[in-house]
Amino acid sequence: MKLSRLSETLIGSEIIKLAASVKEKMEQGQKIYNYTIGDFDPEIFPIPKEFEEAVVRSYRERNTNYPSAEGIPELRKAVGALIREREGLSYDPASEILISAGGRPLIYATYRAIVDKGEKVIYAVPSWNNNHYTHFVEGRHVAIETLPENNFMPTAAEIKPHLQGASLLALCSPLNPTGTTFSKDQLEAICDMVLEENEKRGAEEKKLFILYDQIYWQLTFGNTVHYNPVSLRSALKDYTIFIDGMSKAFASTGVRVGWALGPAAVVGKMKAILSHIGAWSPMPEQKAASRYLLQQEPITLYLDRYKAAIHQRLEKIYEGFEDLKKSGYAVDAIVPQAAIYLTIKLDLKGKQRSDGVVLPDQAAATDYVLNEAGLAVVPFYAFGTSKESPWYRLSVGTCKMEEIPEMFGKLREALDRLK
């Protein structure tokens, strides 16, 4: 059957494919330590009680009609107050803040509002879904494969050769899939480079815009500080579109409340695009969020407990991989900085199984740890890197603390069976 070129050429999600395999094994009764999904087990990480009560109340008040295309005014005002209080950013709720059903529609609308067919989109890999969004708008892919020594964050030196003629620079910090962040110096260098590039462009030329996905910015640990382009360089407010929301910061992935911040001219076009798609956040959730986001003390108390529980899991698993590495196993990990992810390395390609079969590639290594250790993690090639990258995303959103020692016991046994 002949269909559109887009549908015929769109690549399916590697994460969904892996999740289906994991689900099948679990349904067959196999014990799987499922660290693949960027989501939360609500029994371990429930949404804030005050927010939950506000959602229930909102439905009982019958707030079930259509919301306005840009989001209800009281929620846009609450978002403006939240980011002003907690991040020091000032945006006009009437024209510079847009509400949607999570971050995905807002990212799509950003691409649609800015990028024309054939124009360059610069993004780092690994990163979440920029390759697919670029494909949606038929942009030119400029994928920069980042390095572990830079914590997989792109550098100004890596980006600079590609700036000429580019329409969009897609950045994410804290980064999905790595859980790492930009340092101040790293981001300042990129900011200065973008401003310099835009100064070169004539009045009639399209400027270079930054899409800054900071959906995990409230989930930083230890001494890690979150930086953003506009706070570092105020002139970038005219060229930066922030993607943010409640899904990760409040374990509310299924509640679907996201927001974008950006220049009125761009946000207005994004609103027009989304008004035709109908990707608005449900009215009851918007009403509830508008009440909850003004409650600074409950938010602080929730984040303190929630972040401590996430960090505890990340640190425990990081320590486990460090122990394996010190024992001579071909593994590694990067110190957790933010989000719900740990970057781990399983360098098992070329190893020989106990039955004499050699693991020929990284896909075989992924299958081996899943089948032999019950460990399900997402390879970085699902986020656009080379198929031979030995690095993986490990998510702790469904991780039970008591299972971590058991998981490492199974992994150690599986690694011992390799030569």
What is residue 334's DSSP assignment?
-
Count of domains in the chain?
A: 2
Cα(47)–Cα(285) distance, rounded to whole angstroms?
13
Q: Is the pLDDT of residue 16 over 80?
A: no
Q: What is the arithmetic mean of pLDDT over 137-158?
A: 97
In a domain, 53, yes or no: no
The pLDDT, as a whole number, for residue 419 is 87
In this structure, the answer to whether residues 281 and 313 fall within a common structural domain is no
Residues 326, 361: one domain? yes
Final residue before a domain boundary, out of 275, 295, 315:
295
Residue 229 lies in a domain: yes
Percent of the chain beyond pLDDT 70?
A: 100
List, for residues 326-360, the tens digit of each pLDDT value.
Answer: 999 999 999 999 999 999 999 999 999 989 899 99
Last residue of a domain, one of 245, 264, 295: 295
pLDDT band at 98 (very low <50, low <70, confident <90, very high): very high
- 160 plus 229 within the same structural domain: yes
265 & 391 share domain: no
Q: Is the pLDDT of residue 13 over 90?
A: no
State the burial class of residue 146 (Cβ atoms within 10 Å of its Cβ: 0-12, 13-18, 19+).
buried
Per-residue pLDDT tens for 212-269? Answer: 999 999 999 999 999 999 999 999 999 999 999 999 999 999 999 999 999 999 999 9
Give CA separation, 393 vs 72, 295, 381, in Å.
Answer: 36, 33, 10
Last residue of one domain, picked from the residues 260, 295, 330: 295
| Residue 49: inside a domain | no
Beta bridge partners, 212, equal 171, 242
Whether residue 69 is contained in a domain is answered as yes
- The separation between CA 20 and the C-alpha centre of its own chain, rounded to angstroms, equals 21
Considering the domain boundaries, does residue 157 fall inside one?
yes
Q: Is the pLDDT of residue 392 over 80?
A: yes
For residue 14, pLDDT over 90 is answered with no
What is the Cα–Cα distance from 201 to 158, expressed in whole angstroms? 21
- The answer to whether residues 258 and 324 belong to one domain is no
Quick one: pLDDT band at residue 10, thresholds 50, 70, 90?
Answer: confident
1 pLDDT tier (thresholds 50, 70, 90): confident
Instruction: Kindly report the CATH number assigned to the domain that includes residue 138.
Output: 3.40.640.10
Q: Answer yes or no: is 322 within a domain.
A: yes
Looking at the fold, whether 157 and 108 belong to one and the same domain comes out as yes
With residues binned 3-state (H G I as helix, E B as strand, rest as coil), the percentages for the chain, rounded to 5, are 45, 15, 40
Same domain flag for 312 and 285: no
Residue 41 lies in a domain: no
Structure tokens of 37? 């999904």
Q: If pLDDT is split at 50, 70 and 90, which confidence band does 144 have?
A: very high
Co-location of 236 and 318 in the same domain: no
* Residue numbers of the domain that contains 121: 63-295
Indicate if the pLDDT at residue 15 is higher than 80: no
Answer whether residue 205 shows pLDDT above 80: yes
